[in-house]
Amino acid sequence: MKKVVTIIIICLTINSFAQNPLVTNIHTADPTARVFNGKLYIYPSHDAVPPEGIVAPRFCMPDYHIFSLENGNTWKDYGVILDQNEVPWGKKNSYGMWAPDCIERDGKYYYYYPAPPKDGTSFRRIGVGVSKSPTGPFKWEKNYIKGIDGIDPGLMIDDDGKGYIFFAGDKTIKGAKLNKNMKKIDGEAIKIEGIPAGYVEGPFPFKHNGNYYLTFAHVFPDEGYTIGYAMSKKPLGPYVYAGKIMDNIDNGTNHHSIVKYKGKWILFYHWWSVSGYSKLRSMRADYMEFKKDGTIKKVKPTLRGIGNPRVNDTIQVDRYNDIYNAKATFVGGNEPNGWMVSDTKMMSTVRFNGVDFGKGEAKKIQARVASGQRNGSFEVRLGGTKGKLIATFPVNYTGGYNKWQTIETELVGNPTGIKDITVVFKSVWGATKIVNLNWLLLKK
């Protein structure tokens, strides 16, 4: 007899959200991802709902958070690391903390951010803070960096140790070499040649196989925001436009970064599909590949995203690889924002690829469910619909299709390694709503 227990979850594992969007505890945009000492960090901006009575300029962006990847797919939020009213040179209550970046040089971490200056000399200036740790605390420089007038700092340290800063301004991308202390530019910022016509912002530079890549958000008059890139043999160009990395995804803005993590290239970007409002965005990530000639294959946005959830990471099955005879719809009731698998019928299936069972540490599996009836069950199988059965959950009445409970059962067969799973729903034929399923979670 398999043991099935109902567990009342008072609060979820902190920020235990995975797949796309990466986090839903706050709205995040402009994700700059960095790998420091083998660990993945994200330095995004923060979209907030304007406080009552505040008319925020375009976006309402009061502060910055930092996130790190803590397990196979769980993001830790370090909280506010800089508030708009702590910017030494910034205009108070301006809600204009746009896209930041952070880079490491000689064991120190430099956090660059744009903000409206109190001296009114520009739309945005760019400031910097220094820390011994990638998550701060940062010591904020008293003044903004002279000679930089723009938004969206994008940093690069070249193989020879020289630092470069790129930024957007006057509908172009500009770049400059940084001084050794990383707090001043060396000479003047120059306009980067070779960037295509049309509005551009969000420059993100990197080097790969001897090529310099300058990637950026690029607006086509007919298509809107895309992510494009140009290539060069020199850090400050001239560059040659090489095409799009992501087509327009109907998202108002797009802003991205690219890192190689555990041998795979990942594109981080944002969308607003959770909030339904273009000023409340959420960061996302999908794998990216290079072609043999060094050009980049276009990335299609997915809900499945990146990473291999393992013990204690939620497996967001609603961000599936494949679904049959069921839907992924917005979750409701006492549940955080996101999606669920709904409209489940006899033999509905949902497949989720790449669960990391490790060395077989997982002994139990939990499911977050809501049901308005008590007939049927759902199974978890390895591989496809006919794959090895590893868990069976009975369906019970939880109080309704918006009343959520976490249930748990034993994991059978001691699965190991990275495996695809398929959830198979069963009930009487003709049932159209067996159970709503939000996520699964492996437990020791």
Residues 6+ apart with CB under 8 A from 369: 393, 395, 398, 404, 405, 406, 407, 435, 436, 437, 438
Least distance (Å) between residue 404 CB and ligand FUB: 32
Q: What is the token pair recorded at 400?
A: 């309704």
Please pick, among 30, 101, 141, 313, the residue that the annotation labels catalytic. 30
Please pick, among 101, 201, 356, 408, the residue that the annotation labels catalytic. 201
Cβ proximity to ligand FUB, 29 vs 66, nearer residue: 29
Q: Which residues bind ligand FUB (CB under 6 A)?
A: 29-30, 45, 59, 98-99, 151-152, 201-202, 217, 253, 255
Cα 230 from Cα 216, distance rounded (Å) = 9
Length of the chain counted residue by residue: 444
Cα 109 from Cα 161, distance rounded (Å) = 14
Annotation says 201 is catalytic:
yes
Residue type, 264: K
- The maximal CA–CA distance of the chain, rounded, in angstroms, is 74
Closest CA to 145 of 168, 173, 124: 124
Closest CA to 351 of 325, 330, 312: 325
Q: 206, 103 in Cβ contact below 8 A? A: no
In the bound state, the residue with its beta carbon closest to ligand FUB is 98
Cβ proximity to ligand FUB, 7 vs 54, nearer residue: 54
Cβ proximity to ligand FUB, 247 vs 410, nearer residue: 247
Helix (H, G, I), strand (E, B) or coil at 305: coil
Cβ proximity to ligand FUB, 30 vs 63, nearer residue: 30
Q: Tally Cβ neighbours within 10 Å of residue 431.
A: 18
Cβ proximity to ligand FUB, 27 vs 310, nearer residue: 27
Cα 60 from Cα 281, distance rounded (Å) = 11
Starting at the edge strand found earlier in the chain, the sheet holding 389-394 runs 322-324, 349-356, 418-426, 377-382, 389-394
Least distance (Å) between residue 13 CB and ligand FUB: 29
Least distance (Å) between residue 209 CB and ligand FUB: 27
Least distance (Å) between residue 194 CB and ligand FUB: 20
Closest CA to 94 of 111, 77, 66, 113: 113
Residue owning tokens 């199974």: 379
Cβ proximity to ligand FUB, 81 vs 99, nearer residue: 99
Cα 204 from Cα 426, distance rounded (Å) = 48
Least distance (Å) between residue 47 CB and ligand FUB: 7
Cβ proximity to ligand FUB, 30 vs 318, nearer residue: 30
**Exposure class string for 113-136: b at 16+ Cβ within 10 A, else e:** bbbbbeeeebebbbbbbbbeebbb
Catalytic annotation, residues: 30, 201
